[in-house]
Amino acid sequence: MSASNTIKWRLTWKVWLPIVLFMIPLILEKEIFGTYFSPYVYGLFVFVIGIIYYFRLKLWQAFVVMAMMTITICAYFLAARPEKIEEMILLLGLDPGPIFVPWLKTYLTMPIWFVMLIINSIIFYSLGPTLMKALDLEKAAIRLFKLAAREVTDETNGFTDRPYYAGKHSYTRDRVIGFASFLEEKKICRAEFPGAGIRFIFSMGISPLNNKYKDTLSYVAFDDDGSLNVFISERDYKQYKKQYTFSQLCELMGKTFLRFAEYYNSNNENRIITELKSV
């Protein structure tokens, strides 16, 4: 079974998008038409992405980072080219009024924009790492679910909101802690230590970084008594294009983590990364 098309399409943010969707259209528009509409279109796009990721990840950092980026981008062109912006508004058939340009020159000058840029930089460097980590965890979760699904042979709906017993593991708590540290370092999942075991949390929706919802997200639990339990949330289960047999899906997710643990135990950690990148 091919794992490449098992998950429903979802909007994903990639680091190269700001360059492709901002700089190139801006340069082309400026050279061909002499206008600057693309920064505002791009700003609106970024703002909408921020809203989407806020509701998907349930992280306020996503909205704040994207909103401040939008404000900073749009404010620059308003401050640097007030007369040109007025001309563009007139091209749209709108009348900005006689006080539009004087108001911008008084209250939105380049020094004021520079202060906004500094504030945006502080916000990005303080909140940005959380957002970037959340996006990496989301991408890794998608790969984990694709890996688990590629060996599923049955397609019958059998979702249950109870953890599924997926067998036994033979690793000591100290060894599992080391394994957890590796997976967290590589931003594959989030590890939690609820008491008698270690839980590996992952999700294609709400971010594991949100402590309020983490108990409702998918996880694989390595208990101290050797038990291996798997829970797949209904939200994640519904991201599959097909209704895979739930028990088999949980079993294969447990085997995926057992296989990764064996790679780690035999000092072949790179095989984990390679296998994740294969889907």
What pLDDT digit, counting tens, does each position of 126-140 carry?
999 999 999 999 999
Place of tokens 């994740």: 276
Give yes or no for residue 200 having a pLDDT over 70: yes
CB 269 within 8 A of CB 262: no
Q: Which of residues 170 and 154 earns the better pLDDT score?
A: 170
pLDDT at 222: 97
Residue 17 pLDDT class (50, 70, 90 cuts): low
Please compute, for residue 54, the number of CA atoms within 13 A of its CA located in the half-sphere on the CB side.
14
In the structure, what pLDDT confidence band is assigned to residue 20 with cuts at 50, 70 and 90?
Answer: low
Closest CA to 22 of 39, 7, 8: 39
Distance (Å, whole) CA 154 – CA 1: 11
User: What's the pTM?
Assistant: 0.89
Closest CA to 247 of 169, 177, 171, 153: 153
Residue 6 CB coordination number (10 Å)? 21
Taking CA atoms, 180 is separated from 68, 193, 279, in Å, by: 34, 10, 22
| 151 Rama sector, left if φ>0, alpha if ψ -120 to 50, beta otherwise | alpha
Which band of pLDDT confidence, cut at 50, 70 and 90, is reported for residue 156? confident
* pLDDT band at 160; cut points 50, 70, 90: confident
Average pLDDT over residues 180-196: 94
Using CA atoms, how far apart are residues 220 and 202, in angstroms rounded to an integer? 9
Token pair, residue 41, equals 């279109």
